[in-house]
Chain A
Amino acid sequence: MMALVDSSVASGPEAGAAADLAVASLALARRFAAGATLWCMAPQWPSHGRHVAVEFVHPVVMGARALPAVSLHEADAAATVRLAARPGDILLAVSTADHAGTVDLLTRSGAWGLTSVWLGAGNRPVGSPADHVVWLEGVDPALACRSGDLVLMYHLLWELTHVGLEHPGLLEAEPECTDGVCVTCSDEGRMAEVIGVGTDGRVTALVGGRREVVDASLVDRAEPGDLLLVHAGVAITSLGGAAT
Chain B
Amino acid sequence: MTTEPTGFLYPFIEAEERDGAALIGDLTRSAQSKMQESRGLRTATLERGRDGIHAAAEAMAARFLGGGRLLAFGNGGSATDADGTVDLFRHPPHGRPLPALSLVDDQAVLTALSNDVGFDLVFSRQVIAHGNAGDIAVGFSTSGASVNLLRAFEEAARRGLLTVGLCGDGGAMAVSDAVQHCLVVRSGSVHRIQETQDALMLELWSTVQRQLARSEGL
Contacts and interface: CB of A to CB of B under 8 A. Distances in A.
A149 B38 CA distance: 9
Contact of A143 (B24, B79, B93): B93
A23 interface: yes
Given A26-B24, A170-B18, A11 B80 contact: no
Nearest to B205: A146
B21 A48 contact: no
Contacts of B142: 60
Interface in B1-41: 1-2, 4, 6, 8-10, 13-36, 38-39
Interface residues of B, number: 56
A1 interface: yes
B8 A162 contact: yes
Nearest to A30: B20
Contacts of A19: 24, 28
B69 interface: no
Contacts of B109: none
Contact of A45 (B22, B84, B190, B201): B84
Interface in A1-35: 1-3, 5-6, 9-12, 14-15, 17-19, 21-23, 25-26
Contact of A22 (B27, B80, B81, B87): B27
Contacts of A145: 84
- Which of B13, B23, B198 is the most central at the interface, judged by chain A CB atoms within 10 Å of its CB? B23
Contact of A163 (B1, B2, B8, B194): B8
A21 B199 contact: no
Interface string B167-209: 0000000000000000000000011001111110110010000
A101 B111 CA distance: 32
Interface stretch (A50-58, A105-113, A177-185, A229-237): A50-58
Interface of B: 1-2, 4, 6, 8-10, 13-36, 38-39, 42, 76-77, 79-81, 83-84, 87-88, 93, 142, 190-191, 194-199, 201-202, 205
